[in-house]
Structure 1
Amino acid sequence: MTNNKTSEVPVQDPGADAVSESVIQLIRQHYTLDARRIRRIYAGLGSRNWVVYTPQETYFVKEFISSEDAQKGKRSIEVATHCITSGIASPSTVANRAGEHLTLLEDGGLALFSYVHSDEQIDKFSIDMMAAAGVNLADTHRALSRYTAPGEDETDEWLDMDVAEIVETVDEILGEISKLDQTSEFDEVSRRLLQDRKVQLANYSRLIEPIRILTRGVIHGDYGQKNLIVDDTQCLWVIDFGSADIFLPAYELGRAAFPPENFDHDDWLDRGLSMIKSYALRGALTRQNLVFCARAWLVQLLQSVYGVKQHYLKPHELQEDLDLFWLRRGKATATLFESLEEVEASIERIL
């Protein structure tokens, strides 16, 4: 849980940010904790994330910024608690004065978690750590398969995505770029990626057909490097569980095995194969699901213009991060699209 874009504000500072001060006061009001200092972690779109220090302990805090996000947070905590009881390492929640694990506020909510100190020296994307994450994801999927109150099944809606609508959005963004008097490097790279996306989408029906018969099951919803903490004993901790919706576990494996960040490395395929092989050894999915996991992830990448859409149509407060998110995903999409045959043949060989 480290990020170099953080700010630490002592409570005693008369110029402390009002939002930081309000979080401190909420913690003191609703929890039996003597909160002294606070540091914001600039990550996540459905919540504001903080680290809060007391004389005894350090805690991670999620401040949900709407009632809807708070309800999603409540569900996430329930799912995480189930997985913890099934042996998955995940930070435990801290009960408030009323014995509840989520403090509902007038517009939003607050949840406190035990703080896991991460090993800042480790490369989470190394081949060895990818293998460890493969085992961890397989065990997480097994735990989730025993969850007795699964969420919605959104698979059919995803499979029947309107490609023409995606192309229309791509054209709208390209139109916004064409209106610019001067273009930046970001504009030019985005223009090229969007033009390539139209070509890639022309192959969409061929790509998605094998995905339709893959196994459905309960998934984490956002499993990947940013939601994995490696502590100083090399143990993997899973955070930010979703709503335990039913989807394609193969998709989640492909997404975790080939994250956009890995395409910054020449050995991105070896890293992905390391994760898939270790996942396969746990026997959580059939061979067919494993072979097509990268394809399922590619289909999602083709559907998404998240980040660039915000940049040109409705900028977000963390738009700089979203710009990087878009550029990395664009590179990953292009590389995976061009290499899909090699990727699937490689997966076949390791199984």
Structure 2
Amino acid sequence: MLAPDAHADIASVLASAYDLPGAVLQRLPIGQVTINYRAEVGGQVLFVKQYQDADLAAEQAAVDQTRLAGAYQVPVAAVRTATDGRSIVQQDGVALSVWEWVAGAVVNDGLNPAQQRAAGMALGRMHTAFADHPAGSGPSAKLDKWLHPDVERLEATVSKFLGIAGERAQRDTFDEQALRTLAGRRAVLHRIPDLLASLPALTCQVLHGDYSAVNLLFEGDELTAVLDFLPPNPFLVAYELGRIAFDPRTVVLDAGWIASGVNLVEAYLQTNPHLPAADVTACARVALLQLLTSLYGVKQHYLKPGLFQEDLDAFWLLRHAASQRLLEHLDDVEAALAQVAHSR
């Protein structure tokens, strides 16, 4: 819950640090980590991101990543600097950044073919831009952890949530859905080690960090902005490619989801043609492993609800359904990806 004077505090910072007096703020129903606003001031419309208990040095690095991607023709929102040149301002207990408003909307029901191509080409340009980033030259603790998940602990956590939902005196609709989906997840956890063991050596470099449908703005078929870059941290290229090509919305809502995923990958290879075939072929398997080892959404529901928990609940159900479909059709998906990888 925001304090009653939260808008006044932010407006005060905008006035003093940005010379933007009289801002009228409207909180936006987006974001699980930051609190976001639409600001109207002096005939302008701006986007204001308020940080909550954030590492502001890391957030500054994320702003720098946004600028670098923009230099490689990736459509991004432009950060508005304060009067003293800062990209992020911390003042009077408020930390925020200000961005130019970009027209467009998030596509929540799966990208169409033209949007898939736009998303794929932008990601290829971005990976090209970040390929030689200094932060990508060192070891990746994140990757090491990802490659060695504690399956027993994961199973124990699933069982814990099953217990919480099952022991409630009055179960609601989501409790019933959680009991079904968590039981389904527990039944396939034993397959994770074999899926990991079959992965080839894969490319690791700096990525966007959260390249997903919720961070892409479209006007019709045009990609107008890639949003919310994370600080530079090396990870698998196949992860980021597979995550957007086989986005849960596509996998669950699109009857031709395999062809749609391949369409995005083909577009990606137009702007990053040198990605090894092993990374291309493995991207769906990596996306599947990420889904199988994640309890995002249901975890928040039973331990610490997020800012928009109903959205997280729905996302858990969607991701679980996507994991089931990917697991069932993985051989077909990888055959299609291998054909693309070797025919460019």
Give the TM-score of the pair, scaled to structure 1.
0.89
Structure 2 residue corresponding to 1:292, chosen from 275, 282, 295: 282
231-240 or 164-173: bigger deviation: 231-240
CA deviation string 1:160-204 (max 9, x = no partner): 111111111001001111201232332222112111111211111
Aligned-partner residue type, residue 293 of structure 1: C
Task: Give the length in aligned residue pairs.
Answer: 335
CA deviation string 1:285-306 (max 9, x = no partner): 1111111101001111111111
Check conservation: 1:215, 1:289, Cα contact below 8 A. Answer: yes
- Residue in 1 aligned with 2:75? 89
Aligned-partner residue type, residue 240 of structure 1: D
1:343 and 2:320 are equivalent in the alignment: no
Aligned-partner residue type, residue 209 of structure 1: A
- Residue in 2 aligned with 1:270? 259
248-257 or 98-107: bigger deviation: 98-107
Aligned-partner residue type, residue 229 of structure 2: F
Aligned-partner residue type, residue 334 of structure 1: Q
142-151 or 23-32: bigger deviation: 142-151
- Residue in 2 aligned with 1:49? 36
1:281 and 2:270 are equivalent in the alignment: yes
Check conservation: 1:200, 1:337, Cα contact below 8 A. Answer: no
Question: 1: CA distance between counterparts of 2:211 and 2:296?
Answer: 18
- Residue in 1 aligned with 2:218? 230
Aligned-partner residue type, residue 330 of structure 1: H
Shift in Å at residue 34 of structure 1? 2.9
Structure 2 residue corresponding to 1:32, chosen from 16, 19, 27: 19
Question: 2: CA distance between counterparts of 1:231 and 1:73?
Answer: 27
Check conservation: 2:47, 2:98, Cα contact below 8 A. Answer: yes
- Residue in 2 aligned with 1:189? 177
1:213 is paired with a residue whose SS is coil
Shift in Å at residue 152 of structure 1? 6.7
Check conservation: 1:280, 1:290, Cα contact below 8 A. Answer: no
296-305 or 230-239: bigger deviation: 230-239
Q: 1:104 to 1:305 in 2, by over 3 A?
A: same
Question: 2: CA distance between counterparts of 1:189 and 1:60?
Answer: 36
Aligned-partner residue type, residue 273 of structure 1: V
Which runs of 5 or more residues in structure 2 are unaligned? none
Which runs of 5 or more residues in structure 1 are unaligned? 1-15
Check conservation: 2:123, 2:268, Cα contact below 8 A. Answer: yes
1:71 and 2:57 are equivalent in the alignment: yes
Shift in Å at residue 232 of structure 1? 6.6
Question: 2: CA distance between counterparts of 1:122 and 1:314?
Answer: 25
Question: 2: CA distance between counterparts of 1:102 and 1:186?
Answer: 39
Question: 2: CA distance between counterparts of 1:265 and 1:199?
Answer: 26
Q: 1:122 to 1:48 in 2, by over 3 A?
A: closer
Question: 1: CA distance between counterparts of 2:102 and 2:220?
Answer: 9
Structure 2 residue corresponding to 1:253, chosen from 241, 262, 282: 241
- Residue in 2 aligned with 1:319? 309
Q: 1:257 to 1:47 in 2, by over 3 A?
A: same
2:98 is paired with a residue whose SS is strand
Aligned-partner residue type, residue 24 of structure 2: R
Question: 2: CA distance between counterparts of 1:121 and 1:349?
Answer: 28
Shift in Å at residue 124 of structure 1? 6.3
Question: 2: CA distance between counterparts of 1:34 and 1:107?
Answer: 19
Aligned-partner residue type, residue 269 of structure 1: I
Shift in Å at residue 344 of structure 1? 0.9
Question: 2: CA distance between counterparts of 1:198 and 1:233?
Answer: 39
Give the TM-score of the pair, scaled to structure 2.
0.91
- Residue in 1 aligned with 2:90? 104
Check conservation: 2:46, 2:98, Cα contact below 8 A. Answer: yes
Q: 1:21 to 1:250 in 2, by over 3 A?
A: same
Check conservation: 1:30, 1:96, Cα contact below 8 A. Answer: yes
- Residue in 2 aligned with 1:22? 9
Shift in Å at residue 119 of structure 1? 5.9
Question: 1: CA distance between counterparts of 2:106 and 2:69?
Answer: 25
1:61 is paired with a residue whose SS is strand
CA deviation string 1:42-96 (max 9, x = no partner): 222221011101123211111001142x333211101112222233221111111
Q: 1:72 to 1:105 in 2, by over 3 A?
A: farther
Identity %: 30
Aligned-partner residue type, residue 327 of structure 2: F
Question: 1: CA distance between counterparts of 2:302 and 2:107?
Answer: 36
Check conservation: 2:77, 2:225, Cα contact below 8 A. Answer: yes
Structure 2 residue corresponding to 1:113, chosen from 55, 78, 99: 99
Structure 2 residue corresponding to 1:160, chosen from 145, 148, 152: 148
Aligned-partner residue type, residue 14 of structure 2: I
1:72 is paired with a residue whose SS is helix
1:74 is paired with a residue whose SS is helix
Q: 1:35 to 1:146 in 2, by over 3 A?
A: farther
- Residue in 2 aligned with 1:13? none
Shift in Å at residue 108 of structure 1? 5.4
Structure with the greater relative contact order (CA < 8 A, sep ≥ 6): 1 or 2? 2
